[in-house]
Structure 1
Amino acid sequence: MNQPASSAPNSSGSVERTRQVGYAVFLLVLAFGAGYIATHLIADLSPVREGSLFPYLMLGAALLIALGFEFVNGFHDTANAVATVIYTHSLTPNVAVIWSGMWNFLGVMVSSGAVAFGILQLLPVELILQVGSGAGFAMVFALLIAAIMWNLATWYFGLPSSSSHTLIGSIIGVGLMNQLMHGPTGTSGVDWGQALGVGKSLLFSPIVGFLCAALLLLVLKALVRIPDLYQEPPKDQPPPFWIRCLLILTCTGVSFAHGSNDGQKGMGLIMLILIGTVPTAYALNKAVTPAETQTFVAVANQAAATFGKYTNGVAPSANPRADVEHYVQHRELTPAVLPAVQQLSTSLATAVGASGSMAAVPQRDVDNVRNTMYLVSEAIRLIEKSGKPAFAADDKLAIDNYRKQLDHATKFIPTWVKVAVAIALGLGTMVGWKRIVVTVGEKIGKQHLTYGQGASAELVAMLTIGAADAYGLPVSTTHVLSSGVAGTMAANGSGLQWSTVRSLVLAWVLTLPASIVLAGGLYWLFRSVA
């Protein structure tokens, strides 16, 4: 496969020096990041007392596979971000990859975690609650290995497949197989309501990318009548300064947005791994201060009193945890659910209040407290989504505040996890960028990518991914950008290489079913031998 045109001068001294400096800086960041991760991981695990090495071995293996997923994610998604600046000669390939990696890193570091934990809501609730069991580890290994296998296969053939689609399909595959293996009772399958919402965002994002990029290019051609913007760039010649700044700015925006959105998808799974292997260290957010803990206790008691208004005199449940878990699994709001949520809220306030802070909750109770918090938070989400019962405005505010407190205590991502994900993404980009960049830059359209096309596709991708991140929705950087490039080619009359377009559409269509089958099969295999 030929090197992109902009890499031809690599033999020149200045480009070689730039490449060497860039790699030296990246290796320095890598060394610093590895040291930072190791230091904080050791500090987190030092208070943990395990009777054997097995949990630590499982932790190491699972983290390696999870970061491997992010590494392969860098092959695909981050490579898309640099395609336009490379093929318009705005940046040399090595500089573009390092620049994009840096902004991916920053995007990951400021991410909220909303996308990460939103994806986890697709998983069967009993596997989340028992993630440290054999079934829990089978789930994590199956969906990650399936996602890596499919992403590697599509990358090998140079197809910009979506890591987001792959991961969602893997989660659905595990959920379906879990239900098939246990029958309709006693277990949950896929949260189809949540899956539909995620599926819509993934399905419509490439359509939005195609149409909006095409429209933006047409508007640009009508308003900015500079012929050089819409013609094939001269070989090895960078664009005019202002155009170059625009293209670098949009590449920066896409890279940052990718880090803040796609970078989260592996974080939620890493947190599940940490909770399953060493719950005493990661099940509860130990950064919650004693003052915040007292606020939690007060809010939990207030919420318990609020739920009491809607129990309709139903007697307290004999097993409130089982009642709430059944509701979260099957969405059946029986009369026992609200009294059970009230009881669990009171017990949480008592348990946490007696400890004085989240960090001081006894090790023997940490896992149970975390799972109870998770169940109550999910139950509140589902109750409010169903609209039954209809809470008064003041009561809804109290319950929403309570749910925020629950999520703050359980849905957190340590900084070292973000650093690890960012480094894995950056390494993946540096290793595997070329195959996807060549496809986006050369094989979608019949003509070379122009400055205007590159800017339009990147700007639409940046805004689409940024908006999705603000709403906690996962979208595919790959599909938004590659469809945006296709849209600009169509709008510019450049023509499309239909063989490539067919391959892209085929990868788009097959990714979900292929990852569902792969993950489901692997989950069955792991459960059979475990």
Structure 2
Amino acid sequence: MQTFGLILVVLVALGFAYTNGFHDSANAIATSVSTRALTPRVALLMAAVMNLFGAWLGLQLGGGVAKAVTSGIISAPPHGEHGLVIVFSLLAGAITWNLVTWYFGLPSSSTHALIGGMVGAGLASGLTVNWTGVWQKVVLPMLLSPVVGFILAFALMVGILWAFRNAHPGKVTRGFRMAQTVSAAGMALGHGIQDAQKSMGVVMLALIAGGHATSNSGVPAWVLWSAGLSISAGTAAGGWRVMRTLGRKIIELDPPRGFAAETVASLVLYFTAFVYPAPVSTTHIITGSIMGVGATKRKTAVRWGVARTIIAAWVITLPAAAVCAALFYWPVNAIF
């Protein structure tokens, strides 16, 4: 029975990776598609490949994000069926919130849905929640990363405007449209480095609960490739509802602004993967960056009403996913 439960929970973890892929695929390619630098089909294929490569690269260079997920948020789930119920519940809560926000086209964070699910299932089951770790590894980066993205993207866009102030607009547009191919690939790579590691982390939680790993165990190759392929498959499926919000509803992007937003977001993702390992949200970073480049036009260029709705979704994601996870835990635990 426990073996069947472990297999089921691992499959659900890979299902979360899939929803992460189609929910967050817009993060990497929305700006490139909206500026017509890439066609949707080519952009999704490129993002899927770079996500898979990012999954491998992130683990080879330390796997700091996966470690941040498996330790420091909640205490390790107990071995046996109860531990598997906890991991199943946190995943079910995260997937549920991902699907709700995807349906309404809100670019919320799969990362914070996962962390919220961990907190909710942890509290409902009596595990210890490390609130200091939640603040340092989740809440603080959630507050700072979009602000940093906004400021850096604004500064980079101002520099681009100054550097090309006398250039022919048509040539500038064509040049940055080609440059966006590189910046979009960089963004997709960063998404794979960050988000695939989170999926690996929850698979490792399932293995810990099943007694096949500890919090200090390395990530097996099959976990790496199954998580990477799941998130890539989800990316290839596309997240068109979220893509429309990021690419068109916040601001009408042009290629220079799309390039600036993607470049800054990629750099922030690499910094938080390798320099200061933290499970940050690609959604928050790219959205903040898009707002930053939009603010260089004029204050009214950014549709602040849409931005406020997105920020509200950010704020409620952690508690909403926590509630969803707790609502799954109580009946499932009663049954098993």
- Quick check: TM above 0.5? yes
SS of the residue aligned with 1:111?
helix
| Mean CA deviation greater in 470-479 or 425-434 | 425-434
SS of the residue aligned with 2:301?
coil
* 2:135 is aligned with 1:196: yes
* 2:317 is aligned with 1:511: yes
Matching residue of 2:90: 143
Q: 2:254 pairs with 450, 472, 475, which one?
A: 450
Conserved in 2, the CA contact under 8 Å of 1:75 and 1:436? no
Q: Deviations over 1:224-268 (max 9, x none)?
A: 22362799xxxxxxx52x423321111111111111111111111
Conserved in 2, the CA contact under 8 Å of 1:85 and 1:251? yes
Q: Deviations over 1:36-71 (max 9, x none)?
A: xxxxxxxxxxxxxxxxxx233223311221111111
Q: Counterpart of 1:434 in structure 2: which amino acid?
A: W
Partner Cα distance (1:83, 1:124) in 2: 34
Partner Cα distance (1:468, 1:442) in 2: 27
Q: Deviations over 1:257-316 (max 9, x none)?
A: 111111111111112223433x4xx43xxxxxxxxxxxxxxxxxxxxxxxxxxxxxxxxx
| Structure 2 gaps, min length 5 | none
* 2:246 is aligned with 1:440: yes
Conserved in 2, the CA contact under 8 Å of 1:230 and 1:451? no
SS of the residue aligned with 2:295?
helix
* 2:172 is aligned with 1:219: no
Q: Which structure carries more relative contact order (alpha carbon 8 Å, separation 6+)? A: 2
* Gap change, CA 1:124 and 1:92, over 3 Å in 2: closer
* Gap change, CA 1:70 and 1:104, over 3 Å in 2: same
Conserved in 1, the CA contact under 8 Å of 2:73 and 2:134? no
Q: CA RMSD in A?
A: 2.0
The 5-angstrom pairing of residues 93-492 of structure 1 reads 93-112=40-59, 113-125=63-75, 127-128=76-77, 130=78, 132-179=79-126, 188-198=127-137, 199-225=139-165, 226=167, 228=169, 239-240=173-174, 242-277=175-210, 279=211, 282-283=212-213, 407=216, 410=217, 412-445=218-251, 448-470=252-274, 471-492=276-297
Q: Counterpart of 1:120 in structure 2: which amino acid?
A: T
* Gap change, CA 1:229 and 1:465, over 3 Å in 2: farther
Partner Cα distance (1:207, 1:261) in 2: 19
Partner Cα distance (2:149, 2:100) in 1: 25
Q: Counterpart of 1:496 in structure 2: which amino acid?
A: V
- Give how far 1:146 is off: 0.4
- Give how far 1:422 is off: 1.6
| Mean CA deviation greater in 152-161 or 215-224 | 215-224
> What is the total number of aligned residue pairs between the two structures?
329
- Give how far 1:526 is off: 2.4
Partner Cα distance (2:282, 2:170) in 1: 24
Q: Counterpart of 2:232 in structure 1: which amino acid?
A: G
Partner Cα distance (1:230, 1:84) in 2: 19
Partner Cα distance (2:86, 2:146) in 1: 29
Conserved in 1, the CA contact under 8 Å of 2:196 and 2:228? yes
Partner Cα distance (2:21, 2:293) in 1: 24
Conserved in 1, the CA contact under 8 Å of 2:142 and 2:280? yes
Partner Cα distance (1:451, 1:121) in 2: 40
- Percentage of matched positions with identical amino acids: 36
> What TM-score, normalized by structure 2, do the two folds share?
0.92
Q: 2:306 pairs with 476, 496, 500, which one?
A: 500
* Gap change, CA 1:227 and 1:77, over 3 Å in 2: farther
> What TM-score, normalized by structure 1, do the two folds share?
0.59
Partner Cα distance (1:227, 1:176) in 2: 59
- Give how far 1:169 is off: 1.2
Conserved in 2, the CA contact under 8 Å of 1:267 and 1:417? yes
Q: Deviations over 1:323-364 (max 9, x none)?
A: xxxxxxxxxxxxxxxxxxxxxxxxxxxxxxxxxxxxxxxxxx
Q: Counterpart of 1:506 in structure 2: which amino acid?
A: A
Q: Deviations over 1:134-162 (max 9, x none)?
A: 32112101110000000111011111010
* 2:6 is aligned with 1:56: no
